Structure 1
Amino acid sequence: MDQDRDIALEIVLDVWQRAELFLAGLMRPWNLYQIGIALALLALAWLLARLVRPRYHNWLRAREGWPKWRLRFGLQLHRRMVLIMFVLLVWPVVWLMQGVTWPSRSHLLAIIGTLAFAWLAIALLTRFIANDIVRKVVRIAAWVWVTLIIVDLTDETRQLLDSFAFSLGETRFSLWLLLQAAVVLTALFTIARFASHAGAANISRSEDLSPSMQVLAVKFLQVVLYGVAFFVALRIVGLDLTGLTLFSGAVGVGLGFGLQKVVSNLVSGIIILLDKSVKPGDVISIGDTFGWINTLGARYVSITTRDGKEYLIPNEDLITGQVVNWSHSNKFVRVDIEFGTAYGDDPHLVRRVAIEASQTVNRVLSARPPVCHITGFGDSSVDYILRFWIVDPSQGLTNVRGEVFLALWDAFKAEGISIPFPQREVRHLNGPGTAQAEIT
């Protein structure tokens, strides 16, 4: 430990001495005028950016057919127009000065141009990282590391970071090793993310796969890509994976007890995707929830109801509970409506009028004609049931029932058919004789 501390102190002193020499060198005349040239080029780049930005913005807005990623990349170019103009200006000046004067007279300006180009490339490339926090961390780390490479301080920095270390068993973990792992993991995960998105797009365009199999294929592809990226990153960094076997076994036992429900939902999600019992777009009822499936997740199923609420139903509930899938094998759904008419109305007329009235509703299928049957003789009415078919249950059931009821009301009113309601008679008995007869 003391040896690592001495090495770190020696490296810091060496870097400090080199920094003093560099600052002293900046005071030389040929370095000062290079700094002046760089500042002048930066001012000129700012003026050119002010002129180019509006025209480029209007041109970018006219690109209607471009995909989103290309438009976002174009927007990043618009935001960094000053740096782009500076890079385009500084390198011709460097090449001109290298041709007409000594190389040392343009050395500092070349370093500034290299830093500007590296920072621009890093800013544009890291924009493809989706997470904002990860993107900022990677961008800052890449800027620092590229700057160290350009100013030739990588060896000292590596030794300094490697001196801060701790041991876990036979494995030595240093700050340099952890930073390497973070960078490699981020890079490989970013590549895996782009590959999974590209693969998901190709899978979604495949007409040979059902929606549920498409979701399963995408999930499997993501697990494989991210898993491969993780283990490849560990191997690149140099960690011994055999030492993780015992640790992973202990963690697996702990997860088996602590995350039992999570694992159950994961397995249930795989079963749902394999047996194709539900798929995105299906209209289902589970408990009091009625809606259509938006997505099939690894842990839950997203269901959107008619009132705009989104329910996240655990996958286990769809496996163990009773689910009504209104569009499992096909989207034809039969809807039943019960009503009653007075005993004085002709039942043949009632049935005919009810069928014709229901056929006036747009969502009622004419290919499967409605039917109407008598179901019984009630206390106040003759009871009927009207059955009709629809093919779009995702548009709602209550609203189509309401439209059919309204059509029945108008048709019955036009034909003089009455809809009775229960009536009760209350008799008030007076007199001792009547009361005596009522009691007996």
Structure 2
Amino acid sequence: MTFDLDSQPQIIQRAAGFALQGWDIAKGWLLSPAAWSQFGLLIAAFVLAWLLTRRLRPMLERLLTPEAGKTSILATIRRFLLIFVPLLLPLLAWGFTAIGEQATRALFGSGAVIAFGKRIFLFLAARILVREIISDGFLKMLGRFVLLPIMALYALGFLDDSIARLNEMTISLGNIEFTVMSIIRGIIAGSILFWIGRWSNDQTGNFIKKQDDMPPATRQLASKAAEIAIFGLAFLLLMNIMGIPLTSLAVLGGAIGVGLGFGLQKIASNYISGVILLLEGQATVGDYVELDSGEAGTIVKTTARAMILETFDGRWIVVPNEDFITTRIINYSDQGSANRYEVPFSVSYDTDINLVPDIIEAAVATHPGVLQKPYPPDCEWRAFGESGVDFAVEFWVNGLDDGKNKFSSDVGFLIWNALKAHNIEIPYPRRVIEMRNAPSGD
């Protein structure tokens, strides 16, 4: 029975050709004494690597494991090297196999079998790297879907042919022409570069935030400048890796300029406004601000487009940077953290009101959060009310009268206790009811 491959689809013909080629290679290996000797060397290399790993791995783990709680540079390096200990077995097997390959090529003039085994050990090392060592989710995904397929092609000997085929396939985009291989290389390199850029940006940002001697606005500006520099450098490196000349991006830059002029005006305005805010230091993270609309909150995050405010009730308000430039914003933290508050109260008309200011001012001054500068507590008469004489005490404190700082509540208790201690009555509404033409009783 014969099977006509010529009548089958092209993909089946290629698969059959690869299968026949693999069968011929396997048959040659099975019938060749040199191949059997190479199989023996592979087994011997693996067994020797396994025996050495059993003895060396516990020693390396003890040597590289630092004492608990140590954060020195040496301890960090030891922890970093410790995570690569699982690669010891495949790398030792690869090294011993490489020595065996040199011996077989010198004796038999051939080393295809042992070279294949050496590639298999590298594939196993890559598999261990992805499954056991890499912990970052993005890098693990990149290793699973990019590194392992590439290493599998390399182990089977198809990598060079695959690269040649991909280099032959070209795609044109206007005046720019590039191969499919360059696109794949750009995707891989871009993913790695921008992951490195993100990691570098996080490390740089954390380092800048720890510089307490720098003003908050300067720290924010330095962090943003570092972010732009890191990702700009990553973009330039990616263009160089893909082989795209920067001059060819002139048309794209012109299109972006037109887009900014029409559809992206607000985005550009917000970005530039954010830079101005950072340079002038008018508002930064930690400032408590009140918007022109009446909403207020603490700035918890700044982005290239907007400021994010958190209110006392936990809501987040996203305010475009342009609003901080073009509208009226009250910044309670801009000129320092001292703020003035007042608490109103009333006393009975039977009270000698000349005594009230000294009593209340002395009582409020005992609060540990109340300041004597810029002004000490000040009790003022406000009005003759319907039920009593209205007063208010003004006082200065550091910070805001928010959830954690109950300044007004504490001062209210002090006023109550002081008035009670001096037998001063706090009035309540009283009404006199006059009955006219009331019927007389019998």
- Alignment TM-score, normalising by the size of structure 2: 0.77
- Unaligned runs of 5+ residues in structure 1 are 1-6, 433-440
State whether residues 342 and 419 of structure 1, in contact with CA within 8 Å, keep that contact through their aligned partners in structure 2: yes
Change over 3 Å in CA distance of 1:225–1:275 after alignment to 2:
same
Is 2:352 the partner of 1:346? yes
Length, aligned pairs only: 419
1:137 matched to which residue of 2?
Answer: 142
Is 2:120 the partner of 1:84? no
Cα distance in structure 1, aligned partners of 2:295 and 2:66? 45
State whether residues 8 and 163 of structure 1, in contact with CA within 8 Å, keep that contact through their aligned partners in structure 2: no
RMSD: 4.2
State whether residues 25 and 31 of structure 1, in contact with CA within 8 Å, keep that contact through their aligned partners in structure 2: no
Write the mapping of 1:43-192 to structure 2, written as runs, cut at 5 A. 59=65, 62-65=68-71, 70=76, 74=79, 77-78=82-83, 81-88=85-92, 91-92=95-96, 95=99, 102=107, 104=111, 106-117=114-125, 132-133=137-138, 135-137=140-142, 140-146=145-151, 148=153, 153-192=158-197
Deviations 1:19-41 (A, max 9, x none): 44544455443344455457657
Write the mapping of 1:262-341 to structure 2, written as runs, cut at 5 A. 262-286=267-291, 287-341=293-347
2:7 matched to which residue of 1?
Answer: none
- Give the drift of 1:282: 1.7
1:399 matched to which residue of 2?
Answer: 406
Cα distance in structure 1, aligned partners of 2:56 and 2:425? 80
The amino acid that maps onto 2:269 is S
Change over 3 Å in CA distance of 1:156–1:109 after alignment to 2:
closer
- Unaligned runs of 5+ residues in structure 2 are 1-9
2:422 matched to which residue of 1?
Answer: 415
Cα distance in structure 1, aligned partners of 2:58 and 2:402? 53
Change over 3 Å in CA distance of 1:343–1:153 after alignment to 2:
same
Cα distance in structure 1, aligned partners of 2:12 and 2:165? 9
Deviations 1:381-425 (A, max 9, x none): 212121111112286587210111011111111211111122233
Cα distance in structure 2, aligned partners of 1:235 and 1:125? 30
Cα distance in structure 2, aligned partners of 1:95 and 1:63? 42
Cα distance in structure 1, aligned partners of 2:180 and 2:90? 35
The amino acid that maps onto 2:330 is V
Change over 3 Å in CA distance of 1:178–1:123 after alignment to 2:
farther
Cα distance in structure 1, aligned partners of 2:284 and 2:153? 53
State whether residues 300 and 314 of structure 1, in contact with CA within 8 Å, keep that contact through their aligned partners in structure 2: yes
Cα distance in structure 2, aligned partners of 1:390 and 1:18? 86
Cα distance in structure 2, aligned partners of 1:231 and 1:430? 98
More off after superposition, 312-321 vs 22-31: 22-31
| Higher RCO structure, 1 or 2 (CA under 8 Å, sep 6+) | 1
State whether residues 167 and 173 of structure 1, in contact with CA within 8 Å, keep that contact through their aligned partners in structure 2: yes
Is 2:220 the partner of 1:215? yes
Cα distance in structure 2, aligned partners of 1:224 and 1:115? 36
Change over 3 Å in CA distance of 1:133–1:292 after alignment to 2:
same
Greater share of helix: 1
- Give the drift of 1:265: 2.2
- Give the drift of 1:295: 2.4
The amino acid that maps onto 1:136 is M
Change over 3 Å in CA distance of 1:55–1:221 after alignment to 2:
closer
State whether residues 349 and 388 of structure 2, in contact with CA within 8 Å, keep that contact through their aligned partners in structure 1: yes
1:242 matched to which residue of 2?
Answer: 247
Cα distance in structure 2, aligned partners of 1:61 and 1:140? 37
- Give the drift of 1:136: 1.5
Identity of aligned residues (%): 26
Change over 3 Å in CA distance of 1:177–1:91 after alignment to 2:
closer
Please give the secondary structure, in 2, of the residue aligned with 1:302: strand
Cα distance in structure 1, aligned partners of 2:177 and 2:12? 21
State whether residues 166 and 173 of structure 1, in contact with CA within 8 Å, keep that contact through their aligned partners in structure 2: yes
Change over 3 Å in CA distance of 1:284–1:371 after alignment to 2:
same
The amino acid that maps onto 1:331 is S
The amino acid that maps onto 2:118 is A
- Give the drift of 1:159: 2.0
Cα distance in structure 1, aligned partners of 2:433 and 2:54? 96
Please give the secondary structure, in 1, of the residue aligned with 2:346: strand
More off after superposition, 307-316 vs 16-25: 16-25
Deviations 1:40-72 (A, max 9, x none): 578769977997899799x468144258x949x
Change over 3 Å in CA distance of 1:115–1:207 after alignment to 2:
same
State whether residues 45 and 86 of structure 1, in contact with CA within 8 Å, keep that contact through their aligned partners in structure 2: no
The amino acid that maps onto 1:216 is L
- Alignment TM-score, normalising by the size of structure 1: 0.77
2:4 matched to which residue of 1?
Answer: none
Cα distance in structure 2, aligned partners of 1:237 and 1:162? 13
Please give the secondary structure, in 2, of the residue aligned with 1:393: coil
1:373 matched to which residue of 2?
Answer: 380
Please give the secondary structure, in 2, of the residue aligned with 1:427: coil
